Structure 1
Amino acid sequence: MKISVSMYSVHKVVQTEGWSPVDFVHFAKSIQADGVELLDIYWKDKEKEIPEVLKEVKEQGLVVSAYDVTNNFVVESEEERMQQVEKVKDGIRVAKQLGTNIVRTFCGDLSGDLTYEDGQEWIVDGLKKAAEFAEQEEVYLAIENHGLLAGRSEQVEEIIAKVGSPFVKSTFDTGNFLLVHQDPKQSFDRLKKEIVHVHFKDFRKKDPSEDVNGFRSMKGEELIGTIPGDGQVDLGYVVNGLNENGYDGWLSIEYEGVEDPKEANLECVNRLKKLLS
């Protein structure tokens, strides 16, 4: 297994210091990551920046581990849903340019009076349409357990099964299961055969004395992103399970805590190296 870092791990720095994807590649090399996970939300001029990123990645001896698309299939308009399908297809094209065969995808989230049944039907339909192109290009659409609709392992499992494509699999986010009150170990056991990409993440419960904003769980509990190993996720269990299952893909750090992102991501890399040694 190899260590990657997601550009979202330094989201605060991107905002405050105006980092470009090239700046991020420099940072990933400085903390001794093996690869970089890039996101569609950070391009300013995609056509111009992609060649620049590829040049920098090569010079730094890194690779692009995955490309993330911020799609949402849970919208009531069929026209809008088709736009989301095209967004995923564009992500597949960009991934091919970047040299990765992993596109992290979202499903969508519930809002208003929509039901889980409504949302799931639209998600499955959208993924089926996008999967036709993914199969042609041999690129995996790796669903992240994210949000209230597809945040639980059984929901991800059911959606993958209903789409029925060998190129629609799981981005296993180790921390997000806590936001839907599910044990990450049990979630891993359910999804381990579907995993083609991993987000290495952890959360802890917020101390009442802390003056920081965290993430609200489905039951209203507030969790704080933390350096992996300082929270509630048994990351050793996941890493050992991946080894036992023959997983040889990427472990991509996605830090969402309140500490300095540069220092936190360096510590994340160091801890993950220890787990893998």
Structure 2
Amino acid sequence: MKAKLGMSPIAWWNDDLPELSDDVSLEECLRQSRSAGFTGMEQGRRFPNDPREMLPILRAADVTLCGGWFSGTLVDEELAANKDRIAPMIELFKAVNAPCIVYGETGRSIQGDRSKPLATKPRLSDDEMKAYARRVTQFGEWCADEGMPLSYHHHMAAVVETEPELDAFMRNSGQGIPLLLDAGHLAFAGGDVLRAIDNHHARINHVHVKDIRKPVVDGLDRSRQSFLDAVALGAFTVPGDGSLDFGAIVQRLADHGYEGWFVVEAEQDPRRAPPQKMAEIGHAELMRVMTAAGYTVETEGFPKE
């Protein structure tokens, strides 16, 4: 089985908490992650949106674009508004040969509002979830028809956060909307990562290997502290530096035949968790567990002409 290892630039620049950002260029971010062994990087705010600008940067760094976040609003807004907003991203991602666009629901979400405690996250009724899941499926089908598949990101503080919410979303949505499995977000929400893989492996097309520091997560006052408070306190980290058993997680994905990207997404304070050092720790741990699970990790970055 083949796999690829990528990173998210959130370790260098945090879009929701700018104070948790390193003052480094895109080129330096790519250099550091590539030197740690990663061959892909998801899109971040310092990436150009013109493929004529992005491709030379990726080529020089020997890195491919392995995904990127789209802030969807389908829980409240109609398909047309989201289609208009995602259309330029689809064209960009097709031009640079990215594997997918990550759909993150931001409608009603409190993930970016530090004044809203975790306990106040939005919740959908059964009927709302059914309607929402159908709408996201339609959107995923349209994006695939346009040439770029989506990957649905369950997320803390959003309408699909917990394992039961993920199960309900998956039950009411269709094959047209694949799943991004994020180990850290599911564990933070109290879910069973291995059970979720067993239940939904057929729809997983992208994986975020985010780790958590369980003592930080368990110590949160969810009636008072927000998602961003948790991030600032160090709830997340890279594999090999946290509490999750990525040997078991990667093995379970291998057991179900998953092939594709494993992306390290670990938002932390770069002053306390230097991104290059954390990248090296995460890469070493992933190589250890992926080799044990029978994966061959691809080492080629930007495709050679």
Contact 1:185–1:234 (CA under 8 A) maintained in structure 2 = no
Contact 1:108–1:123 (CA under 8 A) maintained in structure 2 = no
Instruction: Give the structure, 1 or 2, with the largest relative contact order (CA under 8 Å, sep 6 or more).
Output: 2
Higher helix share: 1
Matched positions, count? 261
Deviation per CA, 1:10-29: give whole Å up to 9, x if none: 22599441533x44322322
Letter in 2 for 1:86: D
Give the deviation of 1:34 after TM superposition.
Answer: 1.5
Higher strand share: 1
Contact 1:203–1:232 (CA under 8 A) maintained in structure 2 = yes
Contact 1:184–1:234 (CA under 8 A) maintained in structure 2 = no
Contact 1:175–1:203 (CA under 8 A) maintained in structure 2 = yes
Give the deviation of 1:46 after TM superposition.
Answer: 1.9
Aligned to 2:238: 227
Aligned to 1:236: 247
Contact 1:227–1:255 (CA under 8 A) maintained in structure 2 = yes
The CA distance in 1 between the partners of 2:226 and 2:234, in whole Å, is 5
Aligned to 2:166: 156
Aligned to 2:288: 274
Aligned to 2:70: 69
2:250 is paired with a residue of what secondary structure?
A: helix
Contact 1:145–1:153 (CA under 8 A) maintained in structure 2 = no
Residue 182 (structure 2) aligned to one of 173, 176, 182: 173
Taking a change above 3 Å as real, the CA distance of residues 239 and 208 of structure 1, as seen in their structure-2 partners, is: closer
Residue 90 (structure 1) aligned to one of 88, 91, 114: 88
Structure 1 unaligned residues grouped into runs of 5+: none
Give the deviation of 1:231 after TM superposition.
Answer: 2.5
Letter in 1 for 2:253: L
The CA distance in 2 between the partners of 1:82 and 1:42, in whole Å, is 27
Query: RMSD over aligned Cα, in angstroms?
Result: 3.2
Aligned to 2:100: 102
Residues 1:46 and 2:49 aligned together: yes
Residues 1:120 and 2:129 aligned together: yes
Taking a change above 3 Å as real, the CA distance of residues 113 and 144 of structure 1, as seen in their structure-2 partners, is: closer
Give the deviation of 1:115 after TM superposition.
Answer: 4.5
The CA distance in 2 between the partners of 1:185 and 1:8, in whole Å, is 25
Residue 6 (structure 1) aligned to one of 8, 20, 23: 8
Percent of aligned pairs sharing the same letter: 18
Contact 1:38–1:67 (CA under 8 A) maintained in structure 2 = yes
Give the deviation of 1:161 after TM superposition.
Answer: 4.1
Contact 1:54–1:98 (CA under 8 A) maintained in structure 2 = yes
Aligned to 1:29: 34
The CA distance in 2 between the partners of 1:239 and 1:136, in whole Å, is 31
Give the deviation of 1:98 after TM superposition.
Answer: 1.9
Structure 2 unaligned residues grouped into runs of 5+: 110-119, 220-224, 292-305
2:12 is paired with a residue of what secondary structure?
A: helix
Give the deviation of 1:183 after TM superposition.
Answer: 2.2
2:262 is paired with a residue of what secondary structure?
A: strand
The CA distance in 2 between the partners of 1:254 and 1:28, in whole Å, is 12
How does 1:185-196 map onto structure 2 within 5 Å? 185-196=194-205
